[in-house]
Amino acid sequence: MTPRDELQASTGAYVLNALSDAERTDVEREIAGSEQLRAEATELADTAVELGLSVAPVEPPASLRDSILAAVAATPQLPAPPLGPDESEHELARPAGPAELKARSRWRTPLARLGAVAAAIALIVSLGFTVRAGLQAQTDMTTASQINQIQAADDYQRLTVDATGGGSATLVWSVSLQQSALLVDGLKGLPAGSTYELWYIDSDGATPAGTFDVGDGGDHSVVLAGDMGLGDTVGVTVEPAGGSTRPTTDPIILVQTA
Amino acid sequence: MLRTVTRNYDDDVDGITPAVTSEDLLGRVALGDQAAFAQLYDRTASRVFGLVKRLLRDHAQSEEVTQEIFLEIWQNATRYEPAKGGAISWMLTMTHRRAVDRIRASQASRDRDTRIGIRDFAPEFDSVAENVEIQIESERVKEAMKRLTELQRQAVQLAYFGGYSHSEVSAMLKVPIGTVKTRLRDGMIRLRDELGVVS
């Protein structure tokens, strides 16, 4: 259990979603018991929204719109919440300003929130809808599920590096699964006749681990072929189409896992 | 009395003030109006997807999580109360939470304060921080960020734009977790004041 003054100092980490689940619950309990903390958390949450609005918008593919609208047509909505004792009290007494009212309703008890989730699940199940059905149609599902598997490993780790010439790359890996995946963003598109090639590099040299090309936004995710060794470095070079058996250019991405 | 910011976010989204606000649309969505939902989606999807993609990077996973978020918006629209904040605030708060949930979901059992974590996260910090700087589009937020101390700024950026937990931030910046927490709070309070979220 976190000491009280530390909980009260955690509103920033709370609105930034930087707390563990256990701490989050503790902080929510603390916030529920203090109007001052509630007001602070509400303001800081609104400040976090400003950060969100400062991120460059990215247009999702049209296929996602279709998929979401189809899922929505098949998904029932939650009923409007009944007027709880908390709200009705406000209606009668009106002691709080808008920020406080906003805060009170926003930081509902975790139990109430769990109840809402349970109700949602029950509703969906009872009506026989499966929300996930729409998701299955996505392309790259295999890569995504393999990445999920890596992320589900107990020893999952990730590391982000800049690529030479622009863009960045995030390696996610699990030593126990001997697997890794690279998520690149903002890489240059390559002329026909060349490709990006992946390498596992250890003290014995570089082993080819597959090739990939990037989409319009320079992004791509790929699971590396072959087994990852403990402490391997993952590299990316530009190679002739089809790939090479050993690197012929300087790496544009190098990720050290040890 | 406290008052929270009432900036019209629709201005930011479209560059013009639309006749129908996102709050109106969300109100209609709460009544089961699928056409209104489609309109709301068209107006906000690039904001939601941009933030999700910023956090998750992986395109396929970002699409998946964006779909989950919009389904949650659809299902929970009945619980949205316009008096308590703008529609885009409600949606982006949910967006950040869900994207971070996805980052953490599979890591729950892992002890993230291990020495391994510290060793492996430390070298990436410079590149992550640089990357984060570039991603801030709004001059207003960029200016406000400059008012933070170096440590506050780095901690806030890693947590919000990188989706890192306080223990990861602690390992990256090589400061104790308690210090990270107070810097995150101090930094957010400073940003709140600089951005005029309180008056």
> Mind giving me the DSSP string for B110-162?
S-TTSHHHHHHHGGGHHHHHHHHHHHB--HHHHHHHHTS-HHHHHHHHHHHTT
Statement: residue A109 has pLDDT above 80:
no
Does A183 sit within 8 Å of B57, measured CB to CB? Answer: yes
- Please give the backbone phi and psi of residue A253, each rounded to the nearest 5 degrees, phi first: -135, 135
Which residues of chain A neighbour B79 with C-beta distances below 8 Å?
A: 78, 80-81, 116
The CATH number assigned to the domain holding B41 equals: 1.10.1740.10
Query: How remote is the C-alpha of B9 from its chain's centroid?
Result: 15
Q: What is the pLDDT of residue A210?
A: 92
Greater confidence (A116 vs A152) lies with: A152
Q: What residue in B sits closest to A53 (Cα-Cα)?
A: B47
Total residue count of chain A as it appears in this document: 258
Residue B72: which domain range? 9-105
Residue that is last in its domain, among B78, B105, B132: B105
Q: Which amino acid is at A77?
A: Q
State residue A162's pLDDT score: 86
Q: Is B49 inside a domain boundary?
A: yes
CATH code of the domain in which B141 resides: 1.10.10.10
B74/A20 CB distance under 8 A: no
Cα–Cα distance between B97 and B103 in angstroms, integer?
Answer: 10
Residue recorded with tokens 């980490």: A13
Instruction: Indicate which of A2, A36, A44, A58 best probes the interface with B, i.e. most B CBs within 10 Å of its own CB.
Output: A58
Are the C-beta atoms of residues A114 and A121 closer than 8 Å to each other? no
A25's torsion region: left (phi>0), alpha (psi -120 to 50) or beta?
alpha
The answer to whether residues B142 and B121 belong to one domain is: yes
Q: Is residue B1 in a domain?
A: no
* Residue A32 burial (CB count, 10 A): 15
Q: What percent of chain A has pLDDT over 70?
A: 72
Q: Which residues of A touch B163 (CB under 8 A)?
A: 17
In a domain, B110, yes or no: no
By mean pLDDT, which of A108-117, A129-138, A248-257, B52-61 is the weakest? A129-138
The number of C-alpha atoms within 13 Å of B67 and in the hemisphere containing its C-beta is 27
Listed ranges A3-12, A81-90, B144-153; the one with the highest mean pLDDT: B144-153
Nearest to B170 by CA among B154, B148, B191: B154
Return the minimum-mean-pLDDT range out of A232-236, B97-101, B115-119: B115-119
B197, B5 Cβ separation under 8 angstroms: yes
Asked if residue B165 and residue B101 are part of one domain, the reply reads no
- Report the number of distinct structural domains present in chain B: 2
Domain match, B55 and B22 both: yes
ipTM: 0.83
Amino acid in the structure at residue B41: Y
Gap between the Cα atoms of A27 and A19, Å rounded:
9
Q: B183 lies in a domain? A: yes
Query: Residue A225 phi/psi, 5° resolution?
Result: -80, 150
Domain spans in chain A, listed from the N-terminal domain onward: 4-126, 141-256
Give domain A141-256's CATH architecture. Sandwich (2.60)
The terminus-to-terminus CA distance of chain A in angstroms comes to: 33
B151 and B130 housed in the same domain? yes
Strands A157-162 and A220-223, how do they pair? unpaired
Size of interface A-B (CB pairs under 8 A): 282
CB contact under 8 A, B198 and A257: no
Q: Is the pLDDT of residue A180 over 80?
A: yes
B2 falls within a domain: no
Last-in-domain residue among B72, B105, B138? B105
Whether the per-residue pLDDT at A132 is higher than 50: the answer is no
Report the distance separating Cα A155 and Cα B112, nearest Å: 10
Strands A253-256 and A205-212: unpaired
A77 vs A74: CA distance, rounded Å: 10
Last residue of a domain, one of B86, B105, B124: B105
Q: How many angstroms separate the first and last alpha carbons of chain B?
A: 9
Tokens of B103: 């980052």
